[in-house]
Chains A and B, each alone.
Chain A
Amino acid sequence: SYVLTQPPSLSVAPGQTASIPCGENNVGDKSVHWYQQKSGQAPVLVIFYNDDRPSGIPERFSGSKSGNTATLTINRVEAGDEADYYCQVWESSSDQWVFGGGTKLTVL
């Protein structure tokens, strides 16, 4: 089955940049979407189609893809960005949706 790999955790100081990778298994062929989930809340879409940002999501959030790795970048990290972040793709050959394992972002 299709696998998306994310680092389990990442720690960043306020004001710095957080880069969360998501990759493997030919992600280059697929559109990657990203979700933020704060403690006790439902996930929220922050990036869709690799690099598009929904209305209401701060410009500090951006997405990119290079080769087999997609990356969520959060510039000028704030305490309120502390959350779990998940990447997601649609695996067309099996008609299944796949999430990465999630990355817990800690703001120091």
Chain B
Amino acid sequence: EVQLVESGGGLVQPGGSLRLSCAASGFTFRSFWMHWVRQVPGKGLEWVSRINNDGSTTSYADSVNGRFTISRDNTKNRLSLQMSSLRAEDSALYFCVRDLNTYFDYWGQGSLVTVSS
């Protein structure tokens, strides 16, 4: 069974940093592109970032480019999102998502990030 379990969320002050992790299991992690998608509670979905299967290429939404860094460790089946210079508008539930050729077939349950003083 495919499982994606996010962790690392919490309360952080504006301008601060936070690192999210996603533990993947039930599939050959190194074979799949992975993404982070976020959602402000009560609002719509926003794509954040993606990384290819071997970690050699990444892409970012304009809203986070230059502040967030996506990475992966295929030896540990782990996806990460390093977030810095955090703003109030980055407050959201962050989902770890598996890509199956441009669409998302499995989602984690999300990790909540709150940016507030």
Contact = CB atoms under 8 A, between A and B. Distances in A.
Interface stretch (A11-19, A20-28, A73-81, A88-96): A88-96
B102 A99 contact: no
A42 B110 contact: yes
Nearest to A102: B44
B102 A90 contact: yes
Contact of B102 (A31, A44, A102): A31
A45 B59 CA distance: 22
A93 B22 CA distance: 28
Interface string B86-117: 00000000010000101111011110000000
Nearest to A45: B105
Interface of A: 1, 31, 33, 35, 37, 42-45, 48-49, 54, 84, 86, 88-90, 94-102
Given A31-B102, A43-B107, A45-B105, A97 B35 contact: yes
B50 interface: yes
A24 to B, nearest CB: 16
Contacts of A99: 37, 44-47
Contacts of A96: 47, 59, 61-62
A37 B108 CA distance: 13
Interface of B: 35, 37, 44-47, 50, 59, 61-62, 95, 100, 102-105, 107-110
Nearest to A52: B103
B4 to A, nearest CB: 9
Contacts of B45: 35, 37, 43, 86, 88, 99, 102
A90 B44 CA distance: 17
Given A42-B95, A96-B61, A88 B104 contact: yes
B107 A95 contact: no
Nearest to B60: A96
A1 B46 CA distance: 13
